[in-house]
């Protein structure tokens, strides 16, 4: 048991410093580069929006499910199929948080290769969609597609800093925290339980390992950052760096939700292009790593991390604290009451998810139920109405208490 706990904590300390830095950068990007700017540059057809979409997708910290409403909004704002598919392919494959975490766990060379994959896959997916994707589907209906709006700008440095910290250490972190800790626990378990020569036999065959990682990654939802501890543990047990890249590349960029969205919005031919590009580019870059000196460089970077410095321990403690903030905990000091709030800006399921997430961050609130048609949200708990209304307003959904 001591060995297992040590493996879990070691995994957490290796990823925590770089993830915290990435979250801070993500928050700064949110303040300095509003989403309206991204939408403006990615709208329209042609190769230039495709290139911009691939470049913009690399640093943005959006998961494969979180990117779907943004991609749909871009499509309805006038972005071409190529730009939309480019953004959809490159964005969830990596992000500023996972780039820095990858550098800490697997070395800077692997981080650069991962960025190269996201850009190449996005660019190729967009270009092929425009050139051989078949006739474009009919224009999207004029239904409302809800995406998080930019927060109002603040003239003060303190206001901007507060918005950046809330976005990085609340919005981004809370969106990934479940998969992040699942990944850390799974990575620690694999590191502790799997034999060191696991991939010495048939599983060491490059073709079989690539196919196995792709078969696991395509239908499965794994976060770009949360999948890192699992990949690091597999790499330490003998999985080739190329096969590790396949898992890290394909897993975050595809899942059943993304597959369904692409098929419904763009057709089966574009879906085949999308999946073929994501898997094909991952296989190609994986082979480049395994057949060149990059493999030795990456393994050396992974193996040279010995010992745990005090700042790594401190970073893991801080990450654990930030992740556990606002978790709903039972309260015995106040009597639970039922409340209903009218939220006029609720218009779709994505709005309902944002409202639910905002209220989940308020300690004491339970049994949240959103009625999109009535534009109301009901909940129970020990929290007062003022805390719930403040949380909704911070998230861009001001409301009025009913009754």
Task: Name the domain boundary from 310, 329, 361.
Answer: 310
Nearest to 241 by CA among 297, 281, 169, 187: 297
Nearest to 53 by CA among 110, 164, 130, 141: 130
Tell me whether residue 318 is in a domain. no
Percent of the chain with pLDDT over 70: 77
Angle value at C-alpha 214, between 10 and 262, nearest 5 degrees: 115
Statement to judge: residues 81 and 142 lie in one domain: yes
Statement to judge: residues 255 and 345 lie in one domain: no
Distance CA 321, CA 169 (A): 11
Statement to judge: residues 220 and 362 lie in one domain: no
The more confidently predicted of residues 351 and 288 is: 288
Statement to judge: residues 184 and 43 lie in one domain: yes
Statement to judge: residues 58 and 187 lie in one domain: yes
- pLDDT, position 264: 82
Tell me whether residue 108 is in a domain. yes
Q: What is the CATH number of the domain that holds 363?
A: 3.30.70.100
When pLDDT is averaged across residues 22-37 and rounded to a whole number, the result is 73
Tell me whether residue 199 is in a domain. yes
Number of domains in the chain: 2
The more confidently predicted of residues 307 and 338 is: 338
Tell me whether residue 170 is in a domain. yes
Statement to judge: residues 383 and 287 lie in one domain: no
DSSP 242-280: HHHHHHHHHHHH--HHHHHHHHHHH-HHHHHHHHHHHHH
Statement to judge: residues 293 and 370 lie in one domain: no
Residue 402's pLDDT band (cuts 50, 70, 90): confident
Tell me whether residue 242 is in a domain. yes
- pLDDT, position 160: 81
Tell me whether residue 319 is in a domain. no
Percent of the chain with pLDDT over 90: 13
Statement to judge: residues 254 and 352 lie in one domain: no
What's the domain range around 377? 337-402
Tell me whether residue 219 is in a domain. yes
Q: What 3-state class would DSSP assign to 337?
A: strand
Statement to judge: residues 207 and 342 lie in one domain: no
Statement to judge: residues 374 and 248 lie in one domain: no
The string of pLDDT tens digits covering residues 183-225 is 678 767 766 666 656 665 556 677 888 988 888 877 766 677 7
User: What H or E segment, with its residue span, contains residue 367?
Assistant: strand 365-371
φ and ψ at residue 381, rounded to 5 degrees? 145, -175
The string of pLDDT tens digits covering residues 58-77 is 888 776 666 776 777 677 66
Tell me whether residue 225 is in a domain. yes
Statement to judge: residues 301 and 360 lie in one domain: no
| Most confident region among 26-30, 70-74, 88-92, 133-137 by mean pLDDT | 88-92
């Amino acid at each position: 048991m001591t060995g297992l706990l040590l493996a879990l904590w070691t995994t957490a300390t290796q990823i925590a410093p770089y993830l915290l830095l990435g979250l801070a950068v993500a928050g700064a990007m949110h303040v300095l580069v509003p989403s309206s700017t991204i939408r403006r540059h990615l709208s329209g057809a042609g190769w230039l929006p495709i290139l911009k979409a691939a470049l913009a997708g690399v640093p943005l910290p959006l998961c494969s499910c979180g990117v779907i409403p943004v991609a749909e909004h871009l499509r309805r704002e006038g972005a071409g199929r190529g730009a939309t598919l480019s953004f959809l392919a490159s964005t969830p494959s990596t992000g500023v948080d996972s780039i820095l975490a990858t550098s800490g766990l697997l070395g800077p060379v692997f981080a650069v290769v991962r960025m190269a994959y996201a850009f190449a896959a996005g660019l190729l997916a967009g270009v092929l969609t425009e050139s051989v994707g078949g006739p474009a589907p009919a224009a999207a209906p004029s239904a409302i597609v809800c995406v998080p709006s930019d927060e109002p700008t603040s003239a003060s440095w303190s206001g901007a800093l507060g918005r950046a910290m809330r976005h990085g250490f609340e919005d981004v972190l809370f969106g990934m925290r479940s998969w992040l800790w699942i990944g850390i626990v799974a990575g620690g378990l694999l590191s502790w339980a799997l034999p060191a020569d696991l991939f010495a036999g048939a599983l060491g065959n490059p073709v079989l390992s690539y196919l196995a990682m792709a078969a696991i990654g395509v239908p499965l939802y794994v976060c770009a950052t949360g999948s890192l501890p699992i990949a690091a543990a597999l790499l330490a047990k003998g999985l080739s760096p190329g096969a590790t890249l396949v898992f890290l590349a394909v897993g975050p960029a595809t899942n059943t939700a993304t597959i369904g969205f692409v098929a419904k919005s763009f057709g089966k031919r574009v879906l085949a292009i999308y999946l073929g590009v994501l898997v094909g580019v991952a296989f190609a870059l994986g082979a480049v790593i395994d057949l060149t000196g990059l493999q030795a460089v990456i393994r050396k970077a992974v193996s040279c991390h010995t010992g745990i410095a005090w700042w790594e321990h401190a970073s893991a403690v801080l990450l654990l604290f930030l992740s556990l903030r606002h978790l709903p905990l039972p309260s015995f000091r106040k009597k639970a009451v039922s409340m209903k709030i009218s939220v006029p800006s609720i218009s779709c399921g994505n709005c309902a998810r944002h409202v639910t997430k905002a209220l989940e961050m308020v300690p004491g609130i339970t049994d949240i139920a959103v009625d999109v048609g009535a534009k109301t949200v009901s909940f129970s708990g020990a929290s007062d109405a003022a805390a719930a209304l403040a949380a909704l307003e911070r998230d861009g959904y001001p409301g009025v208490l009913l009754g």
